Structure 1
Amino acid sequence: MASEFITALRGKQEEQQRRGGSPRASLLSPATIYLLIGALLVGAVITMSPALVHRREDFQAITKLLPCVGEPAAAAAEQQAAAQPAPLIAQPPPLRTLSFPPEWQPLLTREERLRGISYWGSGGRLQRVAQKLLTGQPVKVFTLGGSVTSGGGSSSSTKLGYVPRFFEFLQHNFPHKEHVLENKAIAASTAFMYAACLQHHVPEDADLVTLEFSVNEKPDAPYPSPERRAFEQLLRRLLRLPGRPAVLVLHHWGWWNALGDGIDRGLFYSQPEGQLTAFSNYYDLPTLSLRSAAYHLMDAGLPKFQIGRVGLPQQHLFFEKGKVRVGPIPLATPETKNEYFYADATHPGNSGHQVLAELMAGALMRAVWEVQVEGGAVSDADRRQPPVSQDLPRPMVPFSRDELPGVCAMQEEFKPIVKKAKGFEYLPERPDADGFMRQKWGWRGTKPGDWAELEVDTRASDGSPPANTYIWLSHLASYQGMGTALVECVSGCKCERSILDGTWGREASLFTVMRFHVTRSPACRIRVTVLSQPGRKKQKGHKVTLAAIMVTHVPLGEGATEGSLGLVQNIGLSHDRGWKDR
């Protein structure tokens, strides 16, 4: 740029001399000339051009070609330039590059991690988490989900599950003794268990909350169903927390559970992932997909991604020559099981958990990069002013209303809810499982005539709007040994009698929820009595296991009535796909 400018000035000077002009004649005014020089120098700094910034001889050549300035002015300009050091261009601080812990051998490439980001949106809340980490501040992270989140399928749920691996990645890159990193997984749970009891799991000042529910949510539920409404309620309650936490949605995906349209496994577009991602689109939530990242790796049978065998015995529905048969999934040997992605039809093995952790790490890597390079993906200048809404948008599902939480008693807090009992005992379903939550504790009755009386406060808080009040009673549903029970209000409140049915035909043991309308009372007593009559799937046995009770208040308004939601709803039902003990 400097040489071109010099050449142009010399050409103008020679042309003027040929025409008889004086070399001292002014080509431009002095002010204009110095403005041009200044503009060139500023442009050089901005474009980081060394040709203008660092070559003093160019500056000297330019000033000598300015006869309009005169010898004294040119000399003064040259002396001033010689006295000043060459301008220095400020270098940005080096970018913080995140890395995996040394003992990790990453299974996904960067391209595959990016493929696994099925939706990113603005990423604003996650960037705020990244900003805190980059400035050395501690963060509070909470993971919600079912048994995959609790580490199911890994050889060590406390070390090799995807959650402890992700926490290890975070501490490796941003060590801080005051980080709060807590896994709040509940085996066999759905989003409703958290939507109704969020205050028991996530504090108001949380920074990041991750959700993993895809393999437990009912796959074919329509958007207006209680299952999808509960998922949306969870999102809305999280996004309204005072700390404005980032919400990161993780979709696990089971190859052997993805069947339909004529194939018995590996159906890419199996639900509910697509439906749940629509909520991410609506609420601007970064979302990760195992299916998007690894489907083609599984289909190609790459090492660590092989899906032809599992590590644990598991039955499956096979489609063969127009017929359906039930048979075992081929088993891997102890020596080869780590080459396969899944431990059973649903749960990932050690390799699968590492891939999930790498997807989580990839999301944080992207947020950190955006903060460092761009200062965040969206600046104030990029936003619509004034904003469309300062608060959450209205619910995505038509006629939904934000429910007001009341009593929530689950896990250890559920035990004292039972005030009187005959035949019911507080026992674990899986006493040998690792940890209280995976042991599935509850009040259990096994013989017709066994009963338990539960007492809860069904009143709403002072000043709350008029609302319908509901009780949600969580109980175990399984494929063997289960029975039915009569549920009725016996004192303090009124409700219609209803039947609890713990039977179904699929190989799975999940907590489900029955819902019924109740009047308000400070001491609403409900009796659950085991019946002799069989459920919808006749089984040998009469076991009834109660796990939790919740009270919610649905404000009266359009669609938020018994007619639109039903008096009794079952939450968390999943398809007949041989799911095993989430």
Structure 2
Amino acid sequence: MEENFARQYYDYAPELRVAEKSEAGSGTPSKYRFIFDRPERVAGITYQGPASRLRLLMERVRAGHSIRVGALGGSITGGQGIGGNKHLYTYGAYFTRWLNAVLPPTKPLKHHHSHANSSAKKASQRRSALEQGEGDVLETTMAEAAELSWFEELLAAHGAGFLHKRRSALARLSRAEVGASLGGEEGPSAGLGVAAAAQPASRRSAMDEAILIANLESPQLHHFTNGGVPGTLSAYMSSCMQTHIPENVDLVFVEYSVNDVAAPSRDFEDRRPFERLLRKALALPSRPAVVLVHFFPWRHGEAEYWESAERDYQEYASFYGLPAVSLRAAMVPAVEASYIAAEELEEEAQAAAKGKKGAEAARAYNAFLNNTAPSAAALLPNAVFGRDLIHPTRGGHVLMAEVLATLCLDLIWSNDALRSGDLPGEGAPGAYSLQEEKKRSRALLATALDHPHHHTAELQRPDGASGLPQPQSLDEEEEGAQLDAVAAKRRGARRALQASSKTKKTTTKKKKPSSSSSKSKSSSSTSTKPTAAEAALLKERQALLKAEAALAAKGPGWGDALISALHRLSFRPLPEPLVAGNYPASHSTCYIDQLLPSIVQQPVKGWNWTDEGRGKWGWVALEKGETIELKLDTRVPGSPASDPDNPNGSLILLGIAFLQSYSGMGRAKVVCESGCKCKDTEIDSLDVERTVSLTNITNIPVSQHQSCLISVTTLGPGREAPSEAAAHPDQWSKFKLMGLVVGEEAGAKTGTVGWLRMTTLNAAHSLGEEGAAGGGEEAEGE
């Protein structure tokens, strides 16, 4: 039984589960054959809330728009335990494939004007990476792939040679690599806990590769970016989020319940990085919908139900109005029911195979199970988690994708009810009229929201039937300029608030007065009118609210009253942080990949910017005595740069990312030259005991300063270099600087990540990125 369900999850293809296809452009989702029953899927939706942005996004999807989906998280999001490609078989990928299957777009991806050129460049890089991949040409035909109806137009657009690409993606699904990613076991069934055999590289392989290629090359699809980085905490992603997903993403999944500390935080101080990550995602120029995705460590049933950060993070869901889904809530309460349902299903399957022998009996048995109605039996723990204590197999990802799909379908149905006014106990349809929305908006935003776009009538389909509101013409340049202006004002307000917070903290940390009269005097002085900094902050914040209100008042440029109302709600200003003063940095805090050269001081001698043909970009020096200097901002928002009572409490951790390998590598010394202060630190990039090449990080306590000048100087061969290195030091002095990550928590004792896998830095991801990693080791990380 578990083997059969594990095989169904391993072979799960949303494109092949459409039961009844809806008319293209109708805005009605196609009927879908879910593998999990609705009670469990609904149980997995732990918080829906207002979901204004997700509601609006679903209306865009129904109107035919292509969207970008991104996922941020640790090794679960990154695909550890799935035995395959993270761009195809993780929850975010399954969800995007489901969206393409049931609500395929009719309009191409919309580029924000400031991202169009960079997106075109990245698309060219992805195509080049694909065409240069290793492997044999996939011999298949258009007819074989055309079994997927939504692929027909795509195939016609790309021509007969569309599927005859080098199969770099398929090569990564080889038995050796899959086995290595699962701890040395070979075969695609490794880690499933059951004998699930892979399908041959025929039609199914052709379909998978075609989906990957389409995600790279076709603008008329919903696209997915997997920004999961194994072994990281939310603190790392808070610093480096925008290097792992594109700025114009429309939907962001955030998964850190397993990686972050499970113990509840009384005052939420330990959750500060996670809140900053959420605020950064919500403040992106595209105003994306954000959904919290909670996994949990099963540990073969030995883990406590509360053993994750999910409880604390649900507070953020309600505080910011973000939908949340939970594997724990969907699965754990139904485990006992799954065993009972499995026993009943086993009896029925055995009866279906009765009278048959051998392979014929097995086929009858499996055919019955494959076509049975959804039931709790699908939640059998060994089929969802397998042998892994923490990382679910594809079954866990399929379950979460179906929970997310159910959430979106429920919101679509709810939107229709809002549009029609057919809500039990909610009064007459007029309760949701445009006029009432205007009154509430005036009270909220203190501005008139009377704009022609708000009076757009619902459009009609060509056949005359009442249809969904379709987009009208929209000046993207004008919209982009307005978004940029609001973002600039937001950054200005944030800087003013940070300055005010720093001023307040430094001025209040004085010695206590020695007399009661001085205390009284001090107390009376604190009740005076706001300082100049506070007044400036208030003025800046009011200007920000006014700018955002004006942009909200302009309207989305399309749709009916409901869409206009959702648009206004989506442009509501964020509340003050749940943890006081917990604002994200207004400056960059992550310098990896193509951002690293921006802080390097010119001229540079003895160091070369190169990826060495392996996809790992960095500055490389090959000889002893070469120095490179970098200047960056190490300040932390809302924290005083210097605290006399606690000198170490104001230090931040600066992560120095470097390439570590077993041959030819040398040492380097890191020195704080000016502005900031730190202890001179030596880094040895040679590790002869591990025959792998990986990106490691050394964390150095550094004082806060706006212009912190750091130097890195090569010192020659590593300390474990063989004796021959003395005769040939030029062959054992290589040092490769990969990046710098500025910690956002003053006084932190540990870094946010101990290593960094350089495979998700390109916001759109090339198919060949993992193959280009050059054999780098994937560290075990939750």
TM-score class, shorter-chain normalisation, is 0.5 to 0.7
Q: Distance between the aligned counterparts of 1:401 and 1:350, measured in 2?
A: 36
- One-letter amino acid of the counterpart of residue 710, structure 2: C
Residue 355 (1) aligns with residue 412 (2): no
Structure 1 residue aligned with 2:689: none
Aligned alpha-carbon RMSD (Å): 5.3
Q: Distance between the aligned counterparts of 1:342 and 1:545, measured in 2?
A: 39
Q: Distance between the aligned counterparts of 1:420 and 1:289, measured in 2?
A: 52
- One-letter amino acid of the counterpart of residue 185, structure 1: G
Q: CA deviation at 1:253?
A: 1.2
Q: CA deviation at 1:149?
A: 1.6
Q: Distance between the aligned counterparts of 1:187 and 1:220, measured in 2?
A: 22
Match of 1:219 among 253, 257, 262: 262
Structure 2 residue aligned with 1:345: 389
Q: Distance between the aligned counterparts of 2:292 and 2:780, measured in 1?
A: 23
Match of 1:570 among 715, 726, 751: 751
Are the equivalent residues in 1 in contact too, given 2:255–2:294 (CA < 8 A)?
yes
Residue 175 (1) aligns with residue 217 (2): no
- Kindly provide the CA deviation profile for residues 410-466 of structure 1, in whole angstroms up to 9, marking residues without a partner as x: 2465599897999xx9899xx9xxxx7xxx998999xxxx999664332599xx999
Residue 366 (1) aligns with residue 548 (2): no
1:184-203, aligned counterparts within 5 Å?
184-188=226-230, 189-203=232-246
Are the equivalent residues in 2 in contact too, given 1:513–1:571 (CA < 8 A)?
no
- Kindly provide the CA deviation profile for residues 483-522 of structure 1, in whole angstroms up to 9, marking residues without a partner as x: xx998534243312287999xxxxxx99888463243337
Q: CA deviation at 1:130?
A: 0.8
Structure 2 residue aligned with 1:270: 307
Tell which structure's C-alpha radius of gyration is larger: 1
Structure 1 residue aligned with 2:88: 159
Are the equivalent residues in 1 in contact too, given 2:71–2:228 (CA < 8 A)?
no
Q: CA deviation at 1:282?
A: 0.9
* Worse-matched range after superposition: 180-189 or 294-303: 294-303
Q: Distance between the aligned counterparts of 1:275 and 1:370, measured in 2?
A: 28
- Kindly provide the CA deviation profile for residues 235-263 of structure 1, in whole angstroms up to 9, marking residues without a partner as x: 1122222332110110111111x9xxxxx
- One-letter amino acid of the counterpart of residue 273, structure 1: E
Residue 457 (1) aligns with residue 499 (2): no
Q: Does the residue aligned with 2:317 lie in a helix, a strand or coil? A: helix
- Kindly provide the CA deviation profile for residues 346-380 of structure 1, in whole angstroms up to 9, marking residues without a partner as x: 22112122112112212211221111222399957
1:100-179, aligned counterparts within 5 Å?
100=32, 106-157=34-85, 158-176=87-105, 177-178=108-109, 179=221
- One-letter amino acid of the counterpart of residue 364, structure 1: C
* Worse-matched range after superposition: 350-359 or 126-135: 350-359
Q: Distance between the aligned counterparts of 1:442 and 1:273, measured in 2?
A: 37
Q: Does the residue aligned with 1:199 lie in a helix, a strand or coil? A: helix
Q: Distance between the aligned counterparts of 1:499 and 1:221, measured in 2?
A: 35
Q: CA deviation at 1:231?
A: 0.9
Structure 2 residue aligned with 1:29: none
**Structure 2 alignment gaps of length 5 or more:** 1-24, 110-220, 344-379, 424-430, 446-544, 546-571, 642-650, 661-666, 685-693, 720-734, 755-778
Structure 2 residue aligned with 1:524: 710
Q: CA deviation at 1:402?
A: 3.5
Q: 1:486 to 1:470 in 2, by over 3 A?
A: farther
TM-score, scaled relative to structure 2: 0.43
Structure 2 residue aligned with 1:397: 579
- One-letter amino acid of the counterpart of residue 99, structure 1: K
Q: Distance between the aligned counterparts of 1:347 and 1:226, measured in 2?
A: 27
Q: Distance between the aligned counterparts of 1:486 and 1:255, measured in 2?
A: 42
Q: 1:466 to 1:280 in 2, by over 3 A?
A: closer
Q: CA deviation at 1:268?
A: 0.5
Are the equivalent residues in 2 in contact too, given 1:162–1:356 (CA < 8 A)?
yes
Q: Distance between the aligned counterparts of 1:152 and 1:229, measured in 2?
A: 26
Are the equivalent residues in 1 in contact too, given 2:671–2:679 (CA < 8 A)?
yes
TM-score, scaled relative to structure 1: 0.56
Q: Distance between the aligned counterparts of 1:443 and 1:301, measured in 2?
A: 54
Are the equivalent residues in 2 in contact too, given 1:223–1:229 (CA < 8 A)?
no
- One-letter amino acid of the counterpart of residue 592, structure 2: M
Are the equivalent residues in 1 in contact too, given 2:634–2:708 (CA < 8 A)?
no
Q: Distance between the aligned counterparts of 2:290 and 2:656, measured in 1?
A: 26
Match of 2:279 among 232, 236, 249: 236
Residue 283 (1) aligns with residue 320 (2): yes
Q: Distance between the aligned counterparts of 2:91 and 2:574, measured in 1?
A: 31
Structure 1 residue aligned with 2:740: 549
Q: Does the residue aligned with 1:581 lie in a helix, a strand or coil? A: coil
Q: CA deviation at 1:169?
A: 0.3
1:292-303, aligned counterparts within 5 Å?
292-298=329-335, 302=339
Residue 96 (1) aligns with residue 278 (2): no
- Kindly provide the CA deviation profile for residues 44-97 of structure 1, in whole angstroms up to 9, marking residues without a partner as x: xxxxxxxxxxxxxxxxxxxxxxxxxxxxxxxxxxxxxxxxxxxxxxxxx99934
1:410-425, aligned counterparts within 5 Å?
410-411=592-593, 413-414=595-596
- One-letter amino acid of the counterpart of residue 632, structure 2: T
Q: CA deviation at 1:160?
A: 2.3
Structure ranking higher in helix proportion = 2
Residue 387 (1) aligns with residue 444 (2): yes
Structure ranking higher in strand proportion = 1
Q: CA deviation at 1:219?
A: 2.1
Q: Does the residue aligned with 1:355 lie in a helix, a strand or coil? A: helix
Q: Distance between the aligned counterparts of 1:300 and 1:454, measured in 2?
A: 62
Give the count of matched residue pairs: 406
- Kindly provide the CA deviation profile for residues 376-419 of structure 1, in whole angstroms up to 9, marking residues without a partner as x: 99957475862288421111113423422225222465599897
Are the equivalent residues in 1 in contact too, given 2:227–2:245 (CA < 8 A)?
no
Q: 1:267 to 1:551 in 2, by over 3 A?
A: closer
Q: Distance between the aligned counterparts of 2:598 and 2:441, measured in 1?
A: 52
Structure 1 residue aligned with 2:290: 247
Structure 2 residue aligned with 1:310: none
Are the equivalent residues in 1 in contact too, given 2:634–2:703 (CA < 8 A)?
no
**Structure 1 alignment gaps of length 5 or more:** 1-92, 259-263, 307-335, 479-484, 503-508, 533-543, 555-563, 574-578
Q: Distance between the aligned counterparts of 1:367 and 1:135, measured in 2?
A: 15
1:368-517, aligned counterparts within 5 Å?
368-375=412-419, 381=436, 386-387=443-444, 390-406=572-588, 408-411=590-593, 413-414=595-596, 455-459=629-633, 468=641, 472-473=654-655, 488-497=670-679, 514=699, 516-517=702-703
Q: 1:282 to 1:415 in 2, by over 3 A?
A: same
- Kindly provide the CA deviation profile for residues 518-568 of structure 1, in whole angstroms up to 9, marking residues without a partner as x: 433375325699998xxxxxxxxxxx997642347x8xxxxxxxxx93265
Q: Does the residue aligned with 2:404 lie in a helix, a strand or coil? A: helix
- Kindly provide the CA deviation profile for residues 5-64 of structure 1, in whole angstroms up to 9, marking residues without a partner as x: xxxxxxxxxxxxxxxxxxxxxxxxxxxxxxxxxxxxxxxxxxxxxxxxxxxxxxxxxxxx
- One-letter amino acid of the counterpart of residue 403, structure 1: A
Structure with the bigger RCO (C-alpha within 8 Å, sep 6+) is 2
- One-letter amino acid of the counterpart of residue 121, structure 1: G
Q: Distance between the aligned counterparts of 1:454 and 1:114, measured in 2?
A: 55
Are the equivalent residues in 2 in contact too, given 1:159–1:165 (CA < 8 A)?
yes
Q: 1:164 to 1:95 in 2, by over 3 A?
A: closer
Q: Distance between the aligned counterparts of 1:407 and 1:373, measured in 2?
A: 44
